[in-house]
Structure 1
Amino acid sequence: MNKICSIGIFILLGILWRSSFVATEAGLPYFPPLLFAALRYYVAGIAILVYVFLTVDYCWPRSSRDWIVIGIAGAFLIGDNLAFLYIGQRFFSGVIAAVGICLGPILTTVFATALLDDFNNFLGYSWTHTWPC
């Protein structure tokens, strides 16, 4: 894939991803928040499944461990995140929701660095001593 195509796909991803907050704000007056989140993920899940069935040989989980990982990730990474987002977006605008979601990885890094460094110092080990620079 050439550089221009990669940049175009990245820009398209950003537009589609961030337009979901506008769509959420537009749809919340007509649907309860959790139903609306569920409908959104049903549509996305069907689209992803169609893509997977057309492009990949390994489509289904092969072990009970795979199912457990899928269930935990679905419940905690997707389910509660979207439930709280849609419930909160009834009271705040889509712009504030988008900024809050986008700050998630940044704040996670900041808090994890601070908390894990303190925890590791408590254990007698510091991550800062492992880096060569």
Structure 2
Amino acid sequence: GSHMRKQEELTDEEKEIINRVIARAEKMETMEQERIGRLVDRLETMRKNVAGDGVNRCILCGEQLGMLGSASVVCEDCKKNVCTKCGVETSNNRPHPVWLCKICLEQREVWKRSGAWFFKGFPKQVLPQPMPIK
């Protein structure tokens, strides 16, 4: 007679399909982490290479600011002075323009990309184990 298949009994073919989906998810996760890793590396390099004090000289390029030097803006996030070449204007639907130095802009990008799990130590979502195929 035709015996009903138990719900949890998957065919090998079905298990293969599930395993392929898991493998693809893992690969995307790895690629995403590598991309975030590269962003973070770039951020670290930028931080190490700051040339100015962020007060009288642009934090990034070290150019003299103020009366005789370049026009300066204050970075919204780190509150350091940057020249307008190293600052990026983001209006962000605010009435007045908001300036960010390139380091903080990059930092925000990293947070956006990584959903901040990377920084706040959130566990990344755990993928299910591949199914054993006999």
Structure with the higher helix share, 1 or 2: 1
Structure of greater relative contact order (alpha carbons < 8 Å, 6+ residues apart): 1
Structure with the higher strand share, 1 or 2: 2
TM-score (norm 2): 0.29
TM-score (norm 1): 0.29
Larger Rg: 1 or 2?
Answer: 2
